[in-house]
Amino acid sequence: MLLELSGVTKHFGGIAAVKDIGFSVAEGSIVALIGPNGAGKTTLFNIITGTLPPEKGSIVIKGRDIVGLKPFEIASAGITRTFQNLQLFSNMTVLENVMAGAHLRSKKGFIRSFFTFPGNCREERKIREESLALLEDIGLVETAGLFASELPFGKQRLLEIARALASHPGLVLLDEPAAGLNPAETEILTVYLKELKTKGTALILIEHDMQTVMEAADRIVVLNFGQMIAEGTPAEIQANTEVIKAYLGEDEKIA
């Protein structure tokens, strides 16, 4: 198993943001994390990536408990993420943004990449080629020379995903990846997520677009008021009365 969470708990004051959360993610699988606003989804992402410490519980990736590690150490262990609010380098080109993500795994590092040593040049060429291939896959290669700030919001969202993937992570946490995308971009995203899975990349996605969730996810974890109320396949979650009540307050099926 790639990632295993057990008993993960975090309070803010007297409020349990997440309480006794436990689930696992296999290599090359997609797990969707859903729930009403305020359910604790983004808090859980912050805990997994080390920006918030849990009060208790374990987070194990490839047999190693990463609780207590710094965010950069967790990233080096193969976990990366995107954010609800875009965090791009607006004064850099689309291609440079993706290449910056690739430098997380570079032997030379981001700063040393600016110096023209022979080894740097070879590695830079490889990173550039791989970054262009990522942009091709996600439908942005024609914008490679534009500044990130010149892209419409939906394409900026896709760019952030491409940058997250540039470090070749084993696990990517996507926080509302379909937010702001038009239907065509959402379809590109859904197809791309499925392709990533076939290449062995595991994904956890927070998403409110239920069509994307139902089409892409292998399993769904449902949070409500910081607690895990259900876990199962998309078909099982669609028919789960507790999940339906959490979303709709009545016995209707989730679309």
Domain ranges of the chain: 1-78+170-255, 81-168
Residues in CB range of 118: below 8 A, 6 or more apart:
none
Q: Quick check: 61 pLDDT over 90?
A: yes
* Sign, Cα dihedral of 97, 206, 72, 13: positive
**Architecture of the 1-78+170-255 domain:** 3-Layer(aba) Sandwich (3.40)
**Cα torsion 193, 27, 78, 12: sign:** positive
Q: Say if residue 121's pLDDT is above 80.
A: no
pLDDT reading at 104 higher than 70:
no
pLDDT score recorded for residue 235:
95
Residue 242 has pLDDT above 70, yes or no: yes
Nearest to 156 by CA among 165, 166, 147: 147
What is the C-alpha to C-alpha distance for residues 40 and 229, in angstroms, rounded to an integer? 12
Residue owning tokens 């954010």: 83
- Is pLDDT of 249 > 70? no
| Domains 1-78+170-255 and 81-168 belong to one CATH topology | yes
pLDDT at site 117:
46
What's the predicted TM-score (pTM) here? 0.86
Q: Please state which of the four CATH numbers 3.40.50.300, 3.50.50.60, 3.30.300.30, 3.20.20.140 is assigned to the domain occupying 81-168.
A: 3.40.50.300
